[in-house]
Structure 1
Amino acid sequence: MMLVVGVVGQIAGTVAASAPTFLIPYLHLQEGLPLARAGALASAPLIGTMLTLVLWGVVVDRFGERLAMSAGLAVAAVAVLASATTDGYVALGLWWVLLGVGAASTNSASGRLVVGWFGPERRGTAMGIRQTALPLGVGLSAVIVPPLAAGPGLVTALLVVGTVAAVATVLSALLVVDPPRPDRQVARTDGLLDNPYRRRQGLWRIHAASALLVVPQYTVWTFMLVWLIDTRGWAPVAAGALVFSAQLLGAAGRIAAGWWTDRAGSRLRPMRLVAVGAVVVMVLLGALESTSLAVTVILVASVVTVVDNGMAFTAVAEIGGPFWSGRAMGMQNTGQYLAAAAVPPGVGAIIAGPGYAWAFALVAVFPLLAVPLVPVRAERPVADR
């Protein structure tokens, strides 16, 4: 039940935070907003999310998962519903920043539910299932928002998204049960209240490796659609269908990766192997970009480049412990968001110059740098987690 509620909450937060992105065509084509301004407006939730991920982690650590998830989704619901009735793009952008603030709560809260309620021998698989909420939320937002905006209009689209967040708020408030934590006095004696960033340097290395591994992931996510249309000659509908299929494959890959870490008794050894796989697949994509095999390779890349997320997220939560994992997961996501934000302009500049093949191949440098950063030797045995 806690896994289901956590996934639903994460999906609702992702649907809400992704909605402005899928409103870009409406804002640009029907409202006449310049594309640059429409894109900047759609990035408003990302600003709110990046600024508050760690703060929500503190709320989770201090006050529990139920309060954090319910309060955050309530903020997101209010922000979306208010934006549906606001006048002016400045006010709309401010409401969407607040939307990102609220949606950010689900990252740490739903992750902590999984870590708190599942033992280490099943935790990887459960976290893999939880991680599917991200691509599923993006896919659901892509299905709901554009047709509603193009038909009934912007207000209807935002009201529907706000209702989804409101329903998830009620479910979280009614159904979430905070996982048990040790007594604080006992935890202090056992060192569980100590700052893990001071006693376990491996956390910083996982954050750094994960930020590097986000670069190939977001390269594939960001440019796969335009690459299929621009260089392969695919129709937009067919290209969109393949991108959606890639998201589903990535979701299945996250579950399989979590199961793998449970069977291996390790999060970080599989993560290092996945980093090596990301190097290989991006080099192959660059080398075969102009051939008929490129579409198959980019589908493989869409899976390989995302499966490390759950591995790293679970490892960070386990190292952080019951009183620091919220903040640790917040730091993890913040680093990934910052790296992801640099992908569109950076990789886009390479594509505009040497082209897609060089861009895909050069991106392989980032997972290559991540391989030695993964702190495999510092990983604790499963029994100690």
Structure 2
Amino acid sequence: MLRNRWQILILATWIQMTAAMITQGMGPLSTYWGKMDLLTPTQTAILVSAINVGPLFSMMFLGKAIDLYGERWILGISSLLLGLTMGATLLSHHYIYLIMILMIVGAWYGASQPGGSKAIVHWFPVKERGLALGIRQTGIPLGGAIAAASIPWLSIHFGVSTAILVQSGLAIVSGFLFLLLYQDAEPAKSESENQKDPEEKENWKSICFNKTLYPVFFVGVSLVSLQFILVAHFMGFLTNELKVSLTKAGLYLAVVQVSGMLGRVVLAWVSDNWLKGNRVRPLILCIVMAMASIFSLLWLDEGVSSWLLVGISIVLGFFGMGWYSLYIVYVSENGPEDQIAYTVSIGLTLNQIAIIAAPVLFGLIVDWQKSYTIAWIFLMMIIASGGLMLLKLPSKSGLKKVDI
């Protein structure tokens, strides 16, 4: 059993990364399935959305189970089942069955975020917790980057089945490692300790009517839509519009994901140390730079320089995916001090709905217009609306210090 908190952090980040290789890797995989089975952009996007439906229904249930039984068993077993059910996609030869299996796969991913976060909270003191949570959070884009770079290469040289087996195998190994090496930092709570507060409905109501949170909730929805549209459609855009090879397109998506990983740490650090805790200004910067990156995509054509694509991918990932830590901290700091978990849960639920819907809606627009241009412009308009809403907030928003 591991007893050093930094070793625990490595283990928690590792299990998050291998889980993200499956969920974030659905973009590259769906692109390959689309090429093999002649699927439309909407149909390939539905595959990405299907895997994100599961957490919407399982996250709260698995979160409660983690409170009752501890992180070790729930997160470890969920990782095992995540890998096993992903491997089951190899047995599906029908589009509808594949969607159903992917929804089950996503359900087991629902333990990853609450389980990993609770592990860090248990093992790290307050003064180190923010950094530790930020590092663990990099497991998501890191897993996405590895998936984007490896899945195309594995699929070309060894077949798509091999790529799926690698994803599944890593998740299964991670589950066993977590069960063997992780030790709950404190006893799990009894059922009686987890009874719902009779005023819970009033708590949810007070948050829902807190208008100071509306702008940042909308920004979260718009930017998480961009994030998962990139996961679902960026490779398709590069291969269909710019005639980039699938392997190169996967590498560009990997650049986006790695840049997003760096952005989540760097932007949060800048907000803490240079801007004295102000979250609004760096969020607005993320919006402006994300829009500029999308706008630049509209002017690209076949034969575009690889270096230009790398540059756009870096900026798009750093700001278009790096905003997430700022968002979580802002929501936590501006919700009622005794209802932080409720506030964050509402924000994550809204984001999860956008994660499911945005890739499909984007694909429908692409199918309708036979082009990505209108879809990108529509996305820019939504992101810009969030920026305008943020500009109306007081310049000192986000300065209230709360122990997350």
Query: Same-fold call, TM > 0.5?
Result: yes
The farther-off stretch of 118-127 and 174-183 is 174-183
- Unmatched runs of 5 consecutive residues or more in structure 1: none
Percent of pairs identical after alignment? 19
Offset of residue 255 of structure 1: 1.6
Residue 367, structure 1, aligned to residue 392, structure 2:
no
Correspondence list, 1:87-98, <5 A: 88-98=94-104
Q: Distance in 2 between matches of 1:46 and 1:311?
A: 22
Which of 109, 120, 133 is the equivalent residue of 2:139? 133
Residue 342 to residue 92, structure 1, CA distance change in 2 (3 Å): closer
- Secondary structure (helix, strand or coil) at the match of 1:364 reads helix
Q: 1:336: which partner in 2? A: 351
CA contact under 8 A between 2:144 and 2:254: conserved in structure 1?
Answer: no
Partner of 1:311: 326
> Is 1:302 matched with 2:317?
yes
Counterpart of 2:264, as a letter, is R
Q: Which of 372, 376, 381 in structure 1 is aligned with 2:401?
A: 381
Q: 1:2 to 1:324 in 2, by over 3 A?
A: farther
Deviation at residue 4 of structure 1 after TM alignment? 1.1
Q: Please, which of 62, 67, 80 is the counterpart of residue 61 of structure 1?
A: 67
What code does the residue aligned with 1:48 have?
A: G
CA distance in 2: counterparts of 1:224 and 1:343, whole angstroms:
13
Write the mapping of 1:275-294 to structure 2, written as runs, cut at 5 A.
275-285=283-293, 289-290=298-299
Structure 2: runs of 5 or more not aligned: 1-6
User: 1:126–1:258: 8 Å Cα contact kept in structure 2?
Assistant: no
Greater CA deviation, 43-52 or 141-150?
A: 141-150
Deviations 1:96-116 (A, max 9, x none): 221111112102111222233
Q: Is the 8 A contact 1:69 1:106 kept in 2?
A: yes
How far residue 131 of structure 1 moved from its aligned partner, in angstroms, is: 1.8
- Given candidates 253, 258, 263, the residue that maps to 1:253 is 263
CA deviations on 1:247-293 (whole Å, 9 max, x unpaired) are 212211112133335547976x22x1122113322454466553899
Tell me: CA distance 1:366–1:219, structure 2 relative to 1, closer, same or farther (3 Å): farther
Other structure's SS at 2:321 match: coil
2:88 to 82, 88, 108: 82
Task: Specify the code of the residue in structure 2 equivalent to 1:98.
Answer: I
1-structure distance, mates of 2:130, 2:34: 42
Measured at CA, do residues 374 and 298 of structure 1 come closer, stay the same or move farther in structure 2, by a change above 3 Å? farther
**Cα distance, 1:168 vs structure 2:** 0.8
Q: CA–CA distance in 2 between the matches of 1:167 and 1:322?
A: 38
What's the secondary structure of 1:80's corresponding residue? helix
Cα distance between partner residues in 2 of 1:356 and 1:89: 25
Question: What is residue 4 of structure 2 aligned with on the other side?
Answer: none
CA distance in 2, matches of 1:230, 1:155: 24
Amino acid corresponding to residue 115 of structure 1 in structure 2: V
Contact 1:250–1:303 (CA under 8 A) maintained in structure 2: yes
- For 2:127, what is the secondary structure of its paired residue? helix
Q: Which moved more, 1:34-43 or 1:68-77?
A: 34-43
Contact 2:235-2:249 within 8 A present in 1 as well:
yes
| C-alpha deviation, 1:44, in angstroms | 2.9
Q: For residue 242 of structure 1, what is the aligned residue in structure 2?
A: 252
Q: TM-score, normalised by structure 2?
A: 0.74
CA contact (8 A) 1:13 1:73 kept: yes
2:50 to 44, 58, 72: 44
Contact 1:124–1:311 at 8 Å: present in 2 too?
A: no
RMSD after superposition: 4.3
Tell me the equivalent position of 1:71: 77
One-letter amino acid matched to 2:28: F
Q: CA deviation at 1:76?
A: 1.0
Q: What SS does the aligned partner of 1:84 have?
A: helix
Q: Which amino acid aligns with 1:52?
A: S
* Paired amino acid for 1:371: L
Is the 8 Å Cα contact of residues 76 and 162 (structure 1) preserved in structure 2? yes
Task: Give the TM-score of the pair, scaled to structure 1.
Answer: 0.77
Distance 1:322 1:83, change over 3 A: farther
| Match in the other structure for 2:220 | 210
Alignment of 1:84-163 (within 5 A): 84-85=90-91, 88-163=94-169
Shift of 1:6: 1.2
Cα gap change, 1:309/1:249 in structure 2, threshold over 3 Å: closer, same or farther?
Answer: same
Matching residue of 2:3: none
